[in-house]
């Protein structure tokens, strides 16, 4: 199941990304596995799992590209532009997948991360935790709504 989910997600992202950008999404198996237990803990349709996993992959890749930005590196400009493109692609992909509530939920933590990085603090970024927190909040809200009815 995991292998199929990973393959389907990467296939979708490859089809959606601009080939002109020339960005390859290469995450290690360990990086991919951070979100898989989160998706297993929640009763989600397969398509939504693909969408959430795609968002996770894009955010992880964007953070990596910006994390690799070292002054005077010969590929500094390319890494900055790749990271910026990936953050834009994340928003486009999330809107297309109708995950606007997730974007709104993650926005403050992503902005704080970007501010910290601009100040030289390259703390780790874990979008899997943010996605899980969002899914838990979403479930609580659904439970409150169903109890009210």
**pLDDT tens by residue, 20-66:** 988 888 887 788 888 999 999 999 999 999 999 999 999 999 988 87
Q: What percent of the chain has pLDDT over 70?
A: 91
- List b or e across 22-33, with b for residues whose CB sees 16 or more CB atoms inside 10 angstroms: ebebebeeeebe
Question: Model pTM?
Answer: 0.89
pLDDT digits (tens, 9 = 90+) for 103-121: 999 999 999 888 887 777 7
What pLDDT sits at residue 148? Answer: 56
Mapped onto helix, strand or coil, the DSSP state of residue 44 is coil
Residue range 66-81, pLDDT digits in tens: 776 667 777 778 888 8
More confident residue, 97 or 83: 97
Range 98-107 burial, b when 16+ CB lie within 10 A, else e: ebeebbebbe
Q: pLDDT band at residue 146, thresholds of 50, 70 and 90?
A: low
Cβ neighbours around 68 below 10 Å, total: 16
The domain ranges of the chain are: 2-148
Virtual CA dihedral for 132, 29, 107, 148, nearest 10 degrees? -20
Integer Cα distance of 73 and 76 in angstroms? 5
């Amino acid at each position: 199941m995991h292998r199929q989910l990973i393959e389907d997600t990467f296939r979708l992202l490859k089809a959606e990304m601009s080939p002109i950008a020339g960005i390859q999404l290469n995450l290690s198996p360990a990086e991919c596995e951070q979100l898989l237990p989160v998706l297993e803990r929640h009763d989600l349709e397969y398509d939504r799992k693909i969408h959430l996993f795609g968002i996770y992959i894009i955010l992880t890749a964007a953070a990596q590209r910006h994390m690799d930005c070292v002054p005077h590196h010969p590929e500094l400009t390319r890494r900055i532009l790749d990271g910026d493109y990936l953050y834009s692609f994340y928003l486009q992909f999330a809107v297309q997948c109708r995950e606007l509530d997730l974007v709104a939920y993650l926005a403050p933590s992503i902005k704080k991360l970007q501010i910290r990085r601009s100040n030289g603090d390259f703390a780790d970024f874990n979008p899997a935790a943010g996605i899980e927190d969002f899914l838990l909040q979403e479930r609580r809200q659904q439970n409150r709504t169903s109890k009210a009815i």
